[in-house]
Structure 1
């Protein structure tokens, strides 16, 4: 259908068209057709005065991307009982200004409109406004506004809403009319009575902990639109059956480039990074907590809650600098967050994300389920994003918070400080590179020695003086007994047993 502006448009199936019996002549409530345009040669003019359902006009206008003065009025509601008066006025003005003859009027009104009826309670007026406005004053105000009183009672009155007041839906709207005309300045100001409930929602408490952890670590919160440019999927190498390719398309996006609801937070944070770099900002630490949208077989998409972060720092921004590897900084931040949420079932494994550096990245798992990723962008992705001049590594991470919150424990347990000293021993092993550090630590945990209180990796080395395909791994072990001071013989026995166990299970040797 070709509209008055000369553009041919495809009308949606539920769009409303006005026909002359043979062909469409107008987009109802939006714009007329070019074929029936009024010109200087026009002799006969057909006038139509109609009422259209506001939601129908709004929907068609949005889908076509066509907003006009007509659609602006009709999508906000018009007076259905004012059609005849408007039609007669238009015909009168045309005849008076341009001459001609007015033909007969045809009125088609198949289903009569029933005005809304709303019961107004005087006690509710006083409760909401906090002022005792007299009954007579309330009735005077509403009757002056052409609200018809149908049935008056001692404590309430039933009013009929005039058809031109399409903005009045319920009792609260009537009370607002009373307040506006009574005068807000005449309503006394009082301190509201607030019931304080000390119970904080468990989920809200966890989200507050997460945001506090990010903020105290030097990150600033970003708030972005929930849209993304689908080109990010190809730039980041995301394709195939990856759920992040199942985006929801917008019919009328704010920008043509951002026509998808985002399926992860990284595209928005990368946009933030680029915008900050363009402003010559070289200390960028941003995080965002927001929902993403994954299209599924259901009618509505799934909306998991995610935490995302981006980190970039150029040395020399401060008087005192410490060189930090973004991967370990973000990994430590995730570990700190998990610790504050009392989540102990998390581990890190080599990441399969195509946009991350293969040796400086990891996937986060919680109780065996993948919860997200952490790492630095690969050099190929930095070039694709136009960041080839950025010498420093760009750290990124994103976590599924719904999975975290499912494992969040808001109870804390306490124990007395140790009464006896600990003894620390180290083990340095030569192992196959194929064996991950996490697997070795799991073996320490499964050794079953009750004297082992804590353990951690203090060294990881590959390179000179290390055989091909091997790596050196240093592990610190802390031994302590709860009821006595350990003797050297006890510590040596436990340490020797653990060393033999690790050598047997890993196939490695002492360095």
Structure 2
């Protein structure tokens, strides 16, 4: 062939549509959810200082060091995303006076003996001002984690948050463990005051870290169609005054244990705190739904169930039904 004019030209081009990749879609949904909740995404360096890394090492594990002079004073492959997020929060606080919410998806590294471990983690940070309420900081962060659980796992499975009494995440006080099907995937809680002080914190800082791979592998959640009910339900809303330390899992478990087969679901509605409730107390409002799959229920059949549930909340959880 001599000359460009002699090169063959195709008049048409075949286009193949590539199916959507679940992992990329799930990651995009995570980002969109967090940005919608007021978080900013950060991209930070993998190397941190020994001082920044050491508080975030799990018991029995050690950090990985890069043997390179160019690493300077930051030769440690970060064992957690949190020290990087804390440094971002400090710089925004010092240079712009901003209290930020930040997240990052990044690899973290550590070792135990000859075993080197690398994981893809999602780190979340909610910085707090000097007058911020620590409990509110924690509740807001937990709400974000529960929303991510709903997005990635659907309605039939959920991430479970339980107290961490053994203190495996020594950088948290208080702290909770996040698990899926009894497998620990991460931690969540308030950063210890001593560690927060290393990053010049002005108020409480709520943080969470979650291993993403097991969640991305389960996306999209399996949907199972169910037939529409043939008979209507009866709903009752119930408010109960409880100790601040009583979590929703205990409330839901108590309600289900006191109900019978007619109790179809129990749903959290809202929590209210104030002077009328009293210190270290909260008012929790929940919705009870009753249904019989074979006939229409009557209200007088539901009344004994509501009374039984109310009695259980009072006797087992020390609750008080407001008049």
Match of 1:105 in 2: none
Q: 1:286 Cα shift? A: 1.8
Cα RMSD after superposing both structures: 4.0
Of 231, 239, 259, the residue aligned with 2:51 is 231
Match of 2:66 in 1: 250
Output the CA distance in 1 between the equivalents of 2:2 and 2:64: 51
Q: 1:350 Cα shift? A: 2.3
Structure 1 length as normaliser, TM-score?
0.51
* 1:134-153 matched pairs, under 5 angstroms: none
Residue 232 of structure 2 corresponds to residue 420 of structure 1: yes
Output the CA distance in 2 between the equivalents of 1:220 and 1:507: 39
Q: 1:331 Cα shift? A: 1.1
- Greater relative contact order: 1 or 2 (C-alpha under 8 angstroms, separation 6 or more)? 2
- Structure 2 CA distance for partners of 1:375 and 1:460, relative to 1, 3 Å: farther
Output the CA distance in 1 between the equivalents of 2:189 and 2:240: 27
Match of 1:292 in 2: 108
Match of 1:385 in 2: 199
Q: Is the 8 A contact 1:457 1:473 kept in 2?
A: no
Q: Is the 8 A contact 1:348 1:438 kept in 2?
A: no
Output the CA distance in 2 between the equivalents of 1:201 and 1:375: 33
* 1:105-504 matched pairs, under 5 angstroms: 193=13, 195-234=15-54, 236=55, 238=56, 241-243=59-61, 246-252=62-68, 254-298=70-114, 301-312=116-127, 325-343=136-154, 344-351=157-164, 352=167, 353-358=169-174, 361-387=175-201, 390=202, 392-413=203-224, 420=232, 422-426=234-238, 428=240, 436-446=247-257, 447-456=259-268, 458-459=270-271, 474-481=284-291, 486-501=297-312
Q: 1:346 Cα shift? A: 1.9
SS of residue in 2 equivalent to 1:294: strand
SS of residue in 1 equivalent to 2:200: coil
Structure 2 length as normaliser, TM-score?
0.76
Q: 1:339 Cα shift? A: 0.5
Matched length? 308
Output the CA distance in 1 between the equivalents of 2:224 and 2:180: 21
Q: 1:408 Cα shift? A: 3.7
Which structure dedicates a bigger proportion of its chain to strand? 2
- Structure 2 CA distance for partners of 1:497 and 1:293, relative to 1, 3 Å: same
Q: 1:333 Cα shift? A: 1.1
Q: 1:266 Cα shift? A: 0.4
SS of residue in 1 equivalent to 2:153: coil
Say which one has the larger Rg: 1
Output the CA distance in 2 between the equivalents of 1:214 and 1:448: 39
- Structure 2 CA distance for partners of 1:313 and 1:493, relative to 1, 3 Å: same
- Structure 2 CA distance for partners of 1:509 and 1:284, relative to 1, 3 Å: closer
SS of residue in 2 equivalent to 1:292: strand
**Deviation sequence 1:324-352 (CA, Å, 0-9, x none):** 93322221111111101125232222243
- Structure 2 CA distance for partners of 1:188 and 1:208, relative to 1, 3 Å: farther
Gaps of 5+ in 1: 1-131, 135-181, 316-323
Output the CA distance in 1 between the equivalents of 2:9 and 2:188: 52
Q: 1:282 Cα shift? A: 0.9
Output the CA distance in 2 between the equivalents of 1:208 and 1:369: 24
Gaps of 5+ in 2: none
